[in-house]
Amino acid sequence: MKVISGLDKLESTSISDVAATIGTFDGVHLGHKRIIEVLLKTSRNMNLQSALVTFHPHPQMVLGKRGPTEILTTLDEKLELLRATGVEIVIVLDFNRQLASYPPEDFVREILIKRLGMKALVIGYNHGFGKDRAGDSTLLEKMARTDGFYFTVVPEFRADDRTVNSTVIRKELRSGDYRKARDILGYNYLISGKIIKGHGVGKTLGYPTINLAVPPVKLLPKEGVYAARARFNGSEFDGMAYIGGRLTFGDTALSVEINLFDFSGPVDSDKVLLELKEFIRPPVKFESSAKLAEKIKSDEMEIKKRFG
């Protein structure tokens, strides 16, 4: 997958004859993957390259019309998920007020057609873009006729009789129905972060942990213990992750940490990607560190029993 960052880089890159889709694609969930499936089918049928145009940062962070937005995927996480879809080219545009002010017709003609060489366009049923989100399927149908490109709209995607979108997934992750969130995401939720020095509490209990600094805009799911997998330096290790405060020690500050099974020694990396497999239990304040250690041991046995 080729990644092109910014309009300047796009201008200096020779690309033509593409089938494109545009959107934020926060979460790269099942609804997004349906759009990408149609994009790939269209590109094959028309002998075009497949290209996905997305934005960074999330438009809501720039426009702020609906208050603060916690994102499901950082840019690195989004690109990792997109690599698995088979899309050939991803263009990441810097979202700022200048880009937000583009009339939709200019965005299509100046960026998609002129700079990207778009011959076909695929969008989701409710997608809006350009100034005041005035670019919609009605406008694009007219432009497809006047500007000479193929255009199609992907219908609403539903799972378990529910609309699949980023807003629904955020709600499920916050409320704690992790299985439901995971099912409509289509994969185990990812949390990436930079390794930081912790308080050493886990080590004193016999369960040393890797502590992560997670970007403040990243949505963290309901606090508690999770069966998890950590990825770093091309290796993967199962373990148990904890999101929450150190309640037994009177510390309510939020931490994200993981104890790795069958691993010892320093971690030769500055970043870790966590894959949350399953929610195990909520946080509990214990009467002593010994009681906490007993419960962590029980958590370890439960997770190993579930996942072999």
Q: What is the CATH number of the domain that holds 289?
A: 2.40.30.30
For residues 192 and 157, state if they share a domain.
no
For residues 263 and 125, state if they share a domain.
no
- Does residue 220 form part of some domain? yes
- Does residue 76 form part of some domain? yes
State how far the Cα of 71 lies from the Cα of 267, in Å rounded to an integer. 27
State how far the Cα of 6 lies from the Cα of 301, in Å rounded to an integer. 48
State how far the Cα of 280 lies from the Cα of 285, in Å rounded to an integer. 16
**pLDDT band for position 199 (50/70/90)?**
confident
Domain boundary among 117, 148, 163: 163
**pLDDT band for position 264 (50/70/90)?**
confident
**Which residue shows structure tokens 């213990």?**
225
For residues 82 and 227, state if they share a domain.
no
**Overall domain count for the chain:** 2
User: In whole angstroms, how far apart are CA 209 and each of 83, 134, 204, 227, 257?
Assistant: 30, 49, 11, 14, 6
**65 pLDDT above the threshold of 80:** no
For residues 204 and 70, state if they share a domain.
no
Give me the helices (H) in the chain, please. 7-11, 30-45, 59-63, 75-83, 97-100, 104-106, 137-147, 166-175, 178-185, 201-204, 289-307
Short-list 155, 156, 160, 158, CA closest to 177 = 160
According to DSSP, residue 199 is labeled -
| Residue numbers of the domain that contains 121 | 2-163
For residues 204 and 275, state if they share a domain.
yes
**Which residue shows structure tokens 């004859």?**
17
Span 183-187, average pLDDT: 92
Question: How many CB atoms within 10 Å of residue 55?
Answer: 23
**What is the model's pLDDT at position 281?**
94
For residues 35 and 146, state if they share a domain.
yes
Domain boundary among 148, 163, 178: 163
- Does residue 180 form part of some domain? no
For residues 20 and 149, state if they share a domain.
yes
Span 65-71, average pLDDT: 72
**What is the model's pLDDT at position 248?**
82
- Does residue 182 form part of some domain? no
> Is 35 in contact with 55 (CB distance < 8 Å)?
no
State if pTM tops 0.95: no
State how far the Cα of 9 lies from the Cα of 6, in Å rounded to an integer. 5
Q: Exposed/middle/buried for 278, CB within 10 Å: 0-12, 13-18, 19+?
A: middle
For residues 11 and 155, state if they share a domain.
yes
Short-list 169, 170, 193, 185, CA closest to 243 = 193
**233 pLDDT above the threshold of 70:** yes
What is the phi/psi pair of residue 282, to 5°?
-80, 170
- Does residue 78 form part of some domain? yes
> Is 246 in contact with 255 (CB distance < 8 Å)?
yes
